Structure 1
Amino acid sequence: MTDALVVRDLHKTFGGTKTLFGARSHAIHAVAGVSFTLAAGETLAIVGESGSGKSTIARMLVGLETPTSGAISIAGKDYSALRAEGSRAFGRTIQYVFQDPVASLNPRRTIDRILDVPLRLLRGYDAAKRAARKRELLDAVQMPSDTLERYPHEFSGGQAQRIAIARALAAEAEIMVLDEPVSALDVSVQAQVLLLLDDLKRELGLSYLFISHDLAVVESIADRVGVMYLGQMVELDTAPNLFASPQHPYTNDLIASAPRLEGVT
């Protein structure tokens, strides 16, 4: 398999700049020398506790944070060059699904208008093609067509996350960064959304970077797992190997403390 995403020696430091009185603020090394690849069609999970740096990596990959140093290649293109091409080119390459589905959707817009934005701005579709594509997207995430006339607050968390996934799919990017996409959902709803994501990956040939603190969820969906601890990736292996024989003490502790997720295979 070819690599959809390549990350080399990625660093992100917050602080460390001079204050108003000439002193230098304390530097926080949120991500310190992380390297990994994401193969086309693969689900790579990055796990760790809050503050481990996993979400900072996700935010850098989609342009919400700027790396301090390091190299990123997305779909064979250099990160800086891709950003220089503009938001349209960047958004057509990689998409982001947020942790809180309801908060990620504009409460003042109908779902029709929410889905219209990426189809119009990123894909450049005319009105007729946008209308047809919206119906296709709702079918893909198993939502009824009358969803379009409604507002985000009218949906449950699981339904809202399906809509957020549909919005990400609208860009037709092959790489999707999923930042704790089921952590705000009930366990039974988590299982449904995870199955949907797995189906979409197979049908559309997507590549997932799946950010989570929950190893039980990760075990059900990931091909490989990278473990973050204090800004560093301390272990990276296939999911079966990592869960059967963790090599790092921190990974072992995470696995030992993780509850099992029932209903997903």
Structure 2
Amino acid sequence: MSNAIVVKDLVKTFGGKRSLFGGTGHAVHAVKGVSFELKQNETLAIVGESGSGKSTIARMLVGLETPTSGTIAIGGQDYAELHAKGSREFGQMIQYVFQDPVASLNPRKTIDTILDVPLKLLRGYDSEKRKARKRELLDAVQMPSDTLERYPHEFSGGQAQRIAIARALAAEAKIMVLDEPVSALDVSVQAQVLLLLDDLKREFDLSYLFISHDLAVVESVSDRVAVMYLGEMVELDTAEKLFAAPGHEYTRELIASAPRLERERQSRPETDRRGTTELSSRA
């Protein structure tokens, strides 16, 4: 299995620069020499408490933060070279789904306009193809076609996150960075969105980097899990092995302190995902 992302010795430092008055500010090392691979068609979760560096890694991968040092390869292409080719090609490789779905959608734009942007700018589709593709995307995330004429504030958090996922899918990228994608949602809605993400992963041949602090969610969705602590990656293993026999003391403390949900990984009824459409449309 080839790699979707390869990260080597990634470092991110904030501050430490000389000020106007001649002093030097205190440097904060948010990420300290992190290395990992995301395999194709894999869900790799990065977990840790607030300030551990997990979201900083996510933001560097999609270009929202610039690495201080280290290397990133996305789809076999060097990160710097990919950026040099322009935002269009970069956006076709990797997409980001934010934690707060409503805040991530422009409140002044209809959903039709929001979905139109990546289809036009990243894919270059003409008007007719964009129109057809938008309906396909809404169908994929189980939202009705009349969604297009409405505004973000008219939707619940779960519905807004489905729309945000549809926007990411519009770029047709094979890699998605999911930064706490269900933490802002009610528990019942979380389950629906997680099932949807699992279906989309198989349908569109996606690879997920899943950022979360919720170990119960991570255990249910991940193939492998990386644990961050104070900017360092202290453990990386399959989800099954890590939760059964964590090797690092910090991982053991995280697991011991987390409320556990009674669920088996990857166990669910073999039903058509559209069987949840009626329920999901209210989420």
- TM-score band by shorter chain is over 0.9
> What secondary structure, in the 3-state scheme, does the structure 2 residue paired with 1:22 have?
coil
What are the superposed Cα offsets for residues 42-92 of structure 1, whole Å, 9 maximum, x if unpaired? 000000000000000000000000000000000000000000000000000
How far the C-alpha of 1:260 sits from its partner, in A, is: 2.4
**Match of 1:219, as an amino acid?**
E
What are the superposed Cα offsets for residues 189-229 of structure 1, whole Å, 9 maximum, x if unpaired? 00000000001101111000000011011001000000000
Equivalence map 1:133-144=2 (5 Å): 133-144=133-144
User: Where does residue 91 of structure 1 map in the other structure?
Assistant: 91
User: Where does residue 171 of structure 1 map in the other structure?
Assistant: 171
**Match of 2:254, as an amino acid?**
L
**Stretch moving more, 172-181 or 19-28:** 19-28
How far the C-alpha of 1:184 sits from its partner, in A, is: 0.1
**Match of 2:184, as an amino acid?**
A
Distance 1:39 1:180, change over 3 A: same
CA distance, structure 1, for counterparts of residue 12 and residue 107 of structure 2? 32
Contact 2:220/2:263 (CA < 8 Å) preserved in 1?
Answer: no
How far the C-alpha of 1:258 sits from its partner, in A, is: 1.4
Equivalence map 1:102-181=2 (5 Å): 102-181=102-181
How far the C-alpha of 1:23 sits from its partner, in A, is: 1.1
User: Where does residue 22 of structure 1 map in the other structure?
Assistant: 22
**Segments ≥4 residues shifted beyond 2 Å:** 260-265
CA distance, structure 1, for counterparts of residue 82 and residue 173 of structure 2? 13
Contact 1:158/1:189 (CA < 8 Å) preserved in 2?
Answer: yes
When normalised by structure 2's length, the TM-score is: 0.92
Unaligned 5+ segments in structure 2 are: 268-283
CA distance, structure 1, for counterparts of residue 160 and residue 13 of structure 2? 33
Give % identity: 81
User: Where does residue 233 of structure 1 map in the other structure?
Assistant: 233
CA distance, structure 2, for counterparts of residue 133 and residue 261 of structure 1? 37
Contact 1:179/1:211 (CA < 8 Å) preserved in 2?
Answer: yes
> What secondary structure, in the 3-state scheme, does the structure 2 residue paired with 1:233 have?
strand
Equivalence map 1:23-62=2 (5 Å): 23-62=23-62
How far the C-alpha of 1:263 sits from its partner, in A, is: 6.4
User: Where does residue 203 of structure 1 map in the other structure?
Assistant: 203
CA distance, structure 2, for counterparts of residue 154 and residue 75 of structure 1? 37
How far the C-alpha of 1:261 sits from its partner, in A, is: 3.5
CA distance, structure 1, for counterparts of residue 88 and residue 256 of structure 2? 43
User: Where does residue 77 of structure 1 map in the other structure?
Assistant: 77
Contact 1:177/1:208 (CA < 8 Å) preserved in 2?
Answer: yes
How far the C-alpha of 1:257 sits from its partner, in A, is: 1.4
**Stretch moving more, 185-194 or 252-261:** 252-261
CA distance, structure 2, for counterparts of residue 263 and residue 255 of structure 1? 15
Query: What's the RMSD between the two structures over aligned residues?
Result: 0.9
CA distance, structure 2, for counterparts of residue 88 and residue 262 of structure 1? 43
Contact 1:191/1:263 (CA < 8 Å) preserved in 2?
Answer: no
CA distance, structure 2, for counterparts of residue 18 and residue 121 of structure 1? 39
> What secondary structure, in the 3-state scheme, does the structure 1 residue paired with 2:259 have?
coil
CA distance, structure 2, for counterparts of residue 172 and residue 109 of structure 1? 22
User: Where does residue 182 of structure 1 map in the other structure?
Assistant: 182
Q: Aligned pair count?
A: 265
> What secondary structure, in the 3-state scheme, does the structure 1 residue paired with 2:173 have?
coil
